[in-house]
Homo-oligomer: A and B are copies of this chain.
Amino acid sequence: MNTAIKDLKFNSRECGSCPIRHRAVCSRCEPDELDRLEEIKYYRTYEAGQPVLWAGDQMEFVASVVSGIATLSQTMEDGRTQMVGLLLPSDFIGRPGRDFAPFDVVAVSDLTVCCFRKKPFEELMGSTPSIGTRLLQMTLDELDSAREWMLILGRKTAREKIASLLAILARRDATLNQLTPTSGMALDLPLTREAMADYLGLTLETVSRQISALKKAGIIVLEGKRRVIIPDFAILMAETGDDFDGGPLA
């Protein structure tokens, strides 16, 4: 799917056409920042299943997901694995100031990333405070979602975990199109049952069973194995166990 690259029409002056730089790096689109970023960027593509980085690898770039999906994960010696990050388009990969990858990064679908060479990126960050500020905000967001994820892993039942994951995916899907999740929306699951299990700290059999249970209960409708219709988003939310004030997402 290397066509993804040529479908992107970058223009160094118009932020709207550069989702990566706009959403993931620049807080406001200062033309000179964009020009300097332009000089140090390049693209990489990976096929589904291909590793991007192993934990411990030297990282010579930071990057932003253009299209496709990658996961951050940890694997124990005996093979138990836990996903610790799910990287969707516009998400940031890499840590300025660090030399080695702390976790495995794997492409779960065909993947295109926009890379910035790390050294010059760090220099640019030093001279352009707004990039550092933006990165701090993004990191704080990631920390918040990691912490919500911890509640899911530590305290929720299998059914609540599945409902929570569907709600998270629906929300991210909707926000990518600058919408909020709506009742009746369709959701294409980007993950296999096994990847969902690794996300939620379950086995793939339990994931499958709980999805079937939610289907049987009418909370979701399946179209094939990977497409989910959510007839009533509020009812799905009620299954997540989160207290939900019926606010803007209803």
Q: Which of the segments A8-16, A42-50, A107-115, A136-144 contacts the partner chain?
A: A136-144
Please tell me if the beta carbons of A155 and B82 are within 8 angstroms of each other in the complex: yes
User: A132-B129, A140-B97, A140-B98 in contact; A150/B76 too (CB < 8 A)?
Assistant: no
In the complex, A133→B135 CA distance in Å? 10
Interface size class of A (residues with CB under 8 A): 35 or more
| Contact for A151 among B77, B82, B143, CB less than 8 A | B82
Q: A129-B129, A129-B132, A139-B140 are in contact. List 13 more A-B contacts (CB 8 A).
A: A76-B151, A76-B242, A76-B243, A82-B150, A85-B147, A97-B137, A98-B140, A103-B147, A126-B129, A146-B146, A146-B147, A150-B150, A150-B153
- Which residues of A are in contact with B by a Cβ distance under 8 Å? 72, 74, 76-78, 80-82, 84-85, 95-98, 102-103, 126, 129, 132-133, 135-137, 139-140, 142-144, 146-151, 153-155, 200-201, 241-243
